[in-house]
Homo-oligomer: A and B are copies of this chain.
Amino acid sequence: MSNYEPLQMTRSRRAILRELSSAEHHPTADEVYQRVRRTIPRISLATVYRNLDILTRHGMIRTLADADGQRRYDATLEDHCHVRCEVCGRVDDVHVVPLEAVERSITDASGYSISGYSLSFAGVCPRCAGGGRRGAEDAS
């Protein structure tokens, strides 16, 4: 799956990577696009998508599958999990016990050779839970 050919660091890629690293939650492709546009106004949305894909295949970022169809991107590479607020859609990081033992048991039970996992929890974030409906920008 991964493709570790040398990858030239173009201006677009550097900018995308920078925005992704500085974002405090995990943005969608369009959010990355909007941010990068402040630096490179003529960048194309297609370029953003293509590079997010390339960076993922090169193991430099991660692509997250979101329950509502949109993908989100993550510059943190160490194994970690996500919590997604069911009210506002925000996605945060959580650091959790390593799951190597679980991986091994899956390999034994299913025959799959495991290369990674994605563990995400759903719940309500403190912003949305604590009184009122604040923080629920894009609630369904």
**In the complex, how many residues of chain A place their beta carbon closer than 8 angstroms to a beta carbon of chain B?**
40
| B110 and A92 form a contact (CB under 8 A) | yes
In the complex, the count of this chain's copies comes to 2
Q: In the complex, which residues of chain B have a beta carbon less than 8 angstroms from the beta carbon of A116?
A: 121-123
Select one of B85, B117, B123 contacting A120, CB under 8 A.
Answer: B117
Q: A63-B67, A112-B124, A117-B122 are in contact. List 11 more A-B contacts (CB 8 A).
A: A65-B66, A92-B110, A106-B123, A111-B126, A111-B129, A112-B125, A112-B126, A113-B124, A115-B123, A118-B119, A118-B122
Q: Which chain A residues have a beta carbon within 8 Å of chain B's beta carbons?
A: 1, 63, 65-67, 69, 71, 81, 83, 85-86, 92, 94-97, 102-103, 105-107, 109-126, 129
